[in-house]
């Protein structure tokens, strides 16, 4: 094993952070990825609060390399509606007026970078939302100017957030994902260009979101070798002969067997993790492999345990030599 294997805590939000730590240790994890807002209050500026979290992790021999703000981050650039009320803290939602929600979400994201620094963490994973996701299908015909305006809005809203991250020495890793400003390789490149390749902006690589779309998820790693800041290990199964529902779900809930695809416990879907590990080795990625467990049809404790075991078994160190280097002779023929 060459990398830390960590458990993302967001799917365990019904438990206390201490209970998550206990289970992560029992399941064999090396650390956790703390998910907001359930397991971290970034409004708390007391140094003792952050020390208590570090002490709690140390108590169980767990390490922390990442914190995540998917739910709040989603609201920074999104078209705000009633859906967001269900995922945002009340103090972010407020009166629900869209512009106020976006501004409060951006402020919270900056506080998240400050919390990361207090915890000794250099990367925040999260979402950005998107002002143009609703324009995904090009009918009625979508003028290129509308798409360009969407990327400009993303840069206008997210650029100042990234500037604050950079000042703090913290990076933001966007999880490339449908409904975000970057959801495949092409849109990821365009998002990077929109923020002028900001040094604080990169990606959280989750192959599951690319795989079911038909995107080459291994190639994505090679396309952005210096921008893969973090990695989520999540599997997905998709049907080779979908009968009724297409790639974006047909308004069926996650887990419904009629869907074209559903997330699976790591190693039980169609993602080729062997090739992913080889690609990560090729780009010298040394960060954690974080289990984001979302298999709706499986007991989560069994899934979390076996996902950890599978990932540790699958991961391996790169070779220091090409295999045929050992055959080479010195210049003198010896």
Tokens of 307: 């996902």
Cα dihedral across residues 289, 293, 298, 303: positive or negative? positive
CB-CB neighbours of 55 under 10 Å: 10
> Which residue from 104, 21, 28 is spatially nearest to 57, judged by alpha carbons?
21
Burial class of residue 233 in the structure, from the number of CB atoms within 10 Å of its CB (0-12 exposed, 13-18 middle, 19+ buried): buried
CB-CB neighbours of 153 under 10 Å: 16
> Which residue from 204, 188, 183 is spatially nearest to 136, judged by alpha carbons?
183
Domains of the chain: 5-321 (3.20.20.150)
SS3 146: helix
Tokens of 27: 């399941």
Rounded to 5°, the CA angle 216-9-218 comes to 10
| Residue 101 DSSP code | H
Is the peptide bond prior to 37 cis by the omega test (within 30 degrees of 0)?
Answer: yes
pTM for the model stands at 0.95
Q: Going residue by residue through the chain, which has 334 residues, state the pLDDT in tens, using 9 for 90 and above.
A: 579 999 999 999 999 999 999 999 999 999 999 999 999 999 999 999 999 999 999 999 999 999 999 999 999 999 999 999 999 999 999 999 999 999 999 999 999 999 999 999 999 999 999 999 999 999 999 999 999 999 999 999 999 999 999 999 999 999 999 999 999 999 999 999 999 999 999 999 999 999 999 999 999 999 999 999 999 999 999 999 988 999 988 899 999 999 999 999 999 999 999 999 999 999 999 999 999 999 999 999 999 999 999 999 999 988 876 666 656 666 565 5
Torsion of CA 227, 229, 231, 232, to 10 degrees: -110
Q: How far is residue 61 CA from its own chain's centroid? A: 24
CA distance 80 to 67: 24
Note whether 220 and 183 are within 8 A (CB).
no
């Amino acid at each position: 094993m060459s990398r830390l294997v960590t458990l993302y805590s967001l799917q365990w939000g019904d438990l206390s952070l201490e209970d998550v730590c206990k289970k992560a240790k029992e399941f064999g994890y090396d650390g956790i990825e703390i998910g907001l807002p359930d397991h971290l209050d970034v409004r708390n500026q007391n140094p003792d609060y952050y020390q208590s979290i570090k002490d709690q992790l140390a108590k169980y021999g767990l390490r922390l390399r990442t914190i995540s703000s998917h739910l709040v981050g989603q609201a920074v650039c999104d078209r705000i509606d009633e859906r967001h009320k269900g995922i945002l803290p009340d103090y972010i939602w407020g009166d629900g007026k869209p512009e106020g929600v976006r501004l409060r979400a951006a402020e919270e994201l900056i506080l998240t970078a400050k919390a990361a620094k207090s915890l000794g963490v250099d990367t925040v994973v999260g979402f950005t939302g998107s002002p143009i996701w609703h324009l995904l299908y090009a009918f009625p015909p979508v003028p290129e100017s509308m798409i360009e305006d969407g990327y400009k809005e993303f840069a206008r809203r997210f650029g100042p957030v990234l500037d604050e991250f950079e000042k703090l020495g913290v990076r933001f890793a966007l999880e490339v994902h449908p409904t975000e400003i970057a959801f495949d390789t092409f849109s990821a490149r365009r998002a990077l260009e929109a923020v002028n390749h900001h040094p604080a902006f990169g990606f959280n690589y989750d192959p599951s979101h690319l795989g079911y779309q038909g995107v080459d998820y291994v190639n994505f790693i090679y396309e952005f070798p210096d921008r893969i800041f973090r990695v989520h290990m999540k599997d997905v199964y998709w049907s080779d002969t979908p009968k009724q529902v297409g790639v974006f779900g047909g308004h069926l809930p996650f887990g419904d067997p009629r869907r074209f695809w559903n997330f699976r416990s790591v190693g039980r879907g169609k993602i080729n993790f062997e090739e992913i590990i080889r690609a990560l080795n090729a780009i010298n990625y040394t960060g954690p492999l974080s289990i984001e467990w979302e298999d709706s049809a499986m007991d989560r404790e069994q899934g979390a345990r076996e996902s950890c075991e599978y990932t540790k078994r699958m991961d391996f160190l790169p070779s220091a030599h090409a295999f045929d280097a050992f055959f080479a002779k010195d210049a003198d023929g010896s």
